[in-house]
Chains A and B, each alone.
Chain A
Amino acid sequence: MTMGGFDAEIVRDFLTESGELINQLESDLVVLERAPKDEAMLNQVFRALHTIKGSASFLAITPLVRVAHAAETALNAARAGQAEVDRAAMDLLLEAVDLIKSQLGQIEAGSALSEAREALVSGLVAIGEGGAKPAAAPVAPALATPEPASIASQTPAPAAPPAPATPGEMARTPLKLEGGKADLLEFLISDLDESTAKVAALVSGLSQTPGQKPAKQSCEQLGDLGEQLVRTAQFFEFGPLVAMSNAVHQAGLQLPDLNAEGVGQVLPRLGLVCRHLEEMARGVRAGELRSPTPGTLLESLGSLLHGVDIPEDRTVGPATPLSEIARLEHAWCDEQATTAPTAATPAASAPETVAASPELEAPAAPVAPAISQASAGADHPAAPKGEAATTKAAATENTIRVDVSRLEALMNLVGELVLQKNRVSALTRRAQMLECADSDFSEAITLTAGALDRVTGEIQTAVMRTRLQPLDKLFGRYPRLIRDLAGKTGKKMRLVIEGGETEVDKSVMEELGDPLVHLLRNSADHGLEMPDERAKNGKDETGTITLRASHEGSHVRVQVADDGRGLLREKIARKAVERGLVTPERAQAMSDREIFNFIFEAGFSTAEKVSDLSGRGVGMDVVRTNIQKVKGEIELASEPGRGTTVTISIPLTVAILPAMMVGVGKETYAIPLTNILEIVRPQADQLSSIGEHPVMRLRNTVLPLVSGSEVMEQASGGEKVPEPFAVVLSMNDRRIGLMVSKLIGQQEVVIKPLDDSQAASKRAVSGATVRDDGGVSLIIDVAELMRRAETLHHASAA
């Protein structure tokens, strides 16, 4: 599907924004299910959906608008208390959310959009009508709008009843929309009607209490409604409506800050604005764009809202009839005919209206900036006030989106800056050693170098921090998962999330996603018992799964704990013996922890039945592999009858790795510190070989050895590189000794990716890092090293 005519950037923004909203929406819905009466949450959910729908209709994405509108209808009824968000309703709403999600994906991929199934739309609409349950409403008409379908068709329906009391001073043009937009007309009309009615209600509510400060909440609602109206109006590309709606929006923002006098002037005028809006809505419904003459109405409102006085002859009182206001502002009003007698000079309005007519000639001309222009025209410092309004609006949005690649580029440059800084420090030390006559000079250098050091360090930390995100972003997906799992398994369960505010690097977050889904599924499917079994054992029928995150030094710890049946040692041990992973005798002697660790082996599953959810034995080893990929560790603890806890510990950032620097021949390599058990200097009598392969005896165990220069393919020209040290590496309870020439020391290194298209095969190097002197050192991939050594040693061990 091509988003014909629209800038790719607009579509991308839409996708990003809607993507975030829909994710939030999903987790909010799950919260809502537990507390269906939570009004704030209902409103939040409704608003998110409404925003998505609004943007989608602007882009004329019909299938998406259709499902969003149906869901919105249902939610609206729930807000009004006419419908209840029960489980069935929630199923439909979540289905709608899923559909929108996949539609967003399809837009991104440029493929055709899937349509909502009829039962989904009709079901949601049925909820919206507060009527029968979805099941009982098989095929209600797809759209709930009472308006005849003729409007949706391409040609406007001139047959629609003309607006009552049509005055002369109003331009009319038939409403013409492009194909895609015409389909959406019905939604937009009902939106327009609804919002207009609400604005009118709010304004009249506010007018009930003259002299009092307007209620803040009402003003906020007014501002929101105005904003929605502006969006709808933009969809119709109908300038006058945009201008009017914008006035409502601005009024909502500014009203709370006005003095009583100002409010007294603004509210009656808003009443007139409502009349105009209603008339325009009526016009759209009748298939035409009606532009009632605004006269000086918007100008006056603009001035008033920015605290600028208006000409005295335009001041009105709370009881001034609308027709009188209209006369003062030379604006259109449908009450003119009836109230004309009270107006002092009814005839006077006519010529002036003619004067305003040039505006009428071009009803679609953008009139949106009317308000700001008006305030700028007055010789009052209105501009700063306008700015203040902008700042206020911006206060809610104090974040910006930045392309990750830019942050990465920044990070790279900072890394380079650190290197240069290190060189300066080294040069400074040398300068001090030189017998420099000018000691002041040398001291100045030292001070400057010190300051540079500090600043660079701070920049580095600051840049790192830009990549950190709270885990809530990830955890937010899981309540939905648990809800669905509860539905599928027939178990009762709840998810408790703790420490969601813990921040981790973006890439770490990405790597954590899948493993956590696996673990949560395991807990829900295998860990927790059925409600009756739980009741029998004296437990709460509802099982609890806890997802807990916390910082621990430079690591972040994430725990998935359930209060289910726990792991059975015997079962796992039996399975391990069956699979030949361990001898029965050995299994006897192993600790619980060692036994439990077998479930991380590939293809290991003790579940009696393979379910849709898990139990195929592909889960846990994938979990472990993913975690190890980001240099993390995973541990499992379990107590029969009390539950299982899996603890994942991963570095805060994957960009920095604590490593041991070693020398092999002329090169320097970095080895991840997490994999190093110890470093020994083998004596001659400890070394021997099995077959062709060197080994060493290390405290009653035999440690296979590999030569660093061999693994790293250093062409030594026949000479053997002396390698006196053995670095004992361990991973997944396997050990190996890597022989190296030199130990340089421990260091935190910044990981840089290697250009992988140059790799002929999988290599024992996971990346590279830049040394203090600007040279490059490779980082040894311990997992790959083990694999190589194992294939080598396998023959000799057998």
Chain B
Amino acid sequence: MSEATQTTNNTGFAGRQLQLVTFDVAGEEFAVDILAVQEINRMMELTRVPQSPPEVEGVINLRGKIIPVLDLRKKFGQPSAERTETSRIVVIEVHKRVLGFIVDRVHEVLRISGDIVEPAPPMACSIDAEFIAGVGKLPDRLLILLDIDKLFSAEAAHAAANASKSKAA
């Protein structure tokens, strides 16, 4: 995925085999590189931390380490939804930080050819094109490849928080 980040706007995936974890957030299907994913957990009780950015839902105990958990819906500027049986916490490591994000459902591990990935068309979906590494055109559906480096960098987190505020205003 890190290689992919440098090539947000062209098909830097061409000629490569991609192995992705795909999941649903607010009715759209997203994917991240499997190497970035540490584990996927069932929902557990979150502890809310005061004075945190709005998308941070709280913290959990991951085998003795306290990690923050973000709600991707809020991150994408969508209203938060009820947690269901299928909700999962995807734990990733990005910028040497371990964090988790909540998704509505985890689908599968998918192998696709990088050749079918195209740059994100602006304004094509609900989230900022900045966070999209590319769009995978599967025979039956579209898959949004997330650029987690950008999505979860601390600065981006604050910028996103501010942006969503100003959008709301």
Contact = CB atoms under 8 A, between A and B. Distances in A.
A758 B157 contact: yes
Interface in A567-603: none
Most central of A755, A762, A775 by chain B CB within 10 Å: A755
B47 interface: yes
A755 B91 CA distance: 14
Leading 4 A-B pairs by shortest Cβ distance: A763-B51, A416-B64, A412-B64, A757-B154
A667 interface: yes
B49 interface: yes
Nearest to A753: B66
A775 B49 contact: no
B47 A415 contact: no
Nearest to B59: A776
Interface stretch (A533-541, A707-715, A722-730): A707-715
B50 A765 contact: yes
B51 A415 contact: no
B53 interface: yes
A100 B53 CA distance: 47
A201 interface: no
Interface string B23-67: 000000000000000000000010111111100101111011111
B51 A713 contact: yes
Contacts of B59: 754-755, 768, 776
The residue in A419, A762, A776 that gathers the most chain B C-beta atoms within 10 A of its C-beta is: A776
Nearest to A770: B61
11 contacts: A712-B50, A713-B51, A752-B66, A753-B66, A755-B68, A755-B99, A758-B52, A760-B51, A760-B52, A763-B49, A765-B49
Interface of B: 45, 47-53, 56, 58-61, 63-68, 97, 99, 154, 157-158, 161
A775 B51 contact: no
Contact of A778 (B45, B47, B56, B64): B47
A775 B65 CA distance: 11
Interface in A755-786: 755, 757-765, 768, 770, 774-778
Contacts of B61: 770, 774-776
A413 B66 contact: no
A711 to B, nearest CB: 7
A361 B61 CA distance: 66
A755 B66 contact: yes
Contacts of B51: 713, 759-765
B50 A776 contact: no
Contacts, number: 79
A763 B99 CA distance: 20
A760 B158 contact: yes
Nearest to A715: B48
Interface residues of A, number: 30
A754 B65 CA distance: 9
A412 B52 CA distance: 24
Contacts of B154: 757-758
A758 B56 CA distance: 8
Contacts of A753: 66
Interface of A: 412-413, 415-416, 419, 667, 711-714, 752-755, 757-765, 768, 770, 774-778
Contacts of A755: 59, 66-68, 97, 99
Given A758-B68, A760-B158, A770-B64, A775 B53 contact: no
Contacts of B66: 752-755, 768, 770, 776
Contacts of A763: 49-52
Contacts of A761: 51
B158 to A, nearest CB: 7
A776 B60 contact: yes
Given A416-B64, A755-B68, A768-B59, A775 B45 contact: yes
Nearest to B154: A757
Most buried by A among B45, B48, B56, B67: B48
Nearest to A713: B50
A416 B65 CA distance: 9
A662 to B, nearest CB: 14
A775 B47 contact: yes
A713 B50 CA distance: 5
A309 B52 CA distance: 78
Contacts of B65: 412, 752
Nearest to B161: A760
Contacts of A667: 47-48
Given A768-B66, A775-B61, A776-B60, A757 B97 contact: yes
Given A757-B97, A758-B154, A758-B157, 6 more contacts: A416-B64, A712-B50, A752-B66, A758-B49, A775-B47, A776-B58
Q: Tell which of A711, A753, A754 has the most Cβ of chain B within 10 Å.
A: A754
A314 B59 CA distance: 78
Contacts of A711: 50
A763 B47 CA distance: 15
A775 B99 CA distance: 16
B49 A754 contact: yes
B145 to A, nearest CB: 24
A300 B56 CA distance: 74
Contacts of B157: 757-758
A716 B57 CA distance: 15
Given A714-B48, A755-B99, A415 B68 contact: no
Contacts of A774: 61
A760 B51 CA distance: 6
Nearest to A712: B50
Contacts of A765: 49-51
B94 to A, nearest CB: 11
Contacts of A764: 50-51
Contacts of B50: 711-713, 763-765
B112 to A, nearest CB: 32
Contacts of B68: 754-755, 758
Nearest to A414: B64
A43 B58 CA distance: 60
Nearest to B63: A416
B47 A776 contact: yes
Nearest to B47: A776
Nearest to B55: A758
Given A413-B64, A753-B66, A760-B53, A777 B48 contact: no
A782 to B, nearest CB: 15
Contacts of B47: 667, 768, 775-778
Contacts of B49: 754, 758, 763, 765, 778
Nearest to A411: B64
Q: Which of A413, A416, A759 has the most CB of B within 10 A?
A: A759
A763 B58 CA distance: 14
A629 B77 CA distance: 38
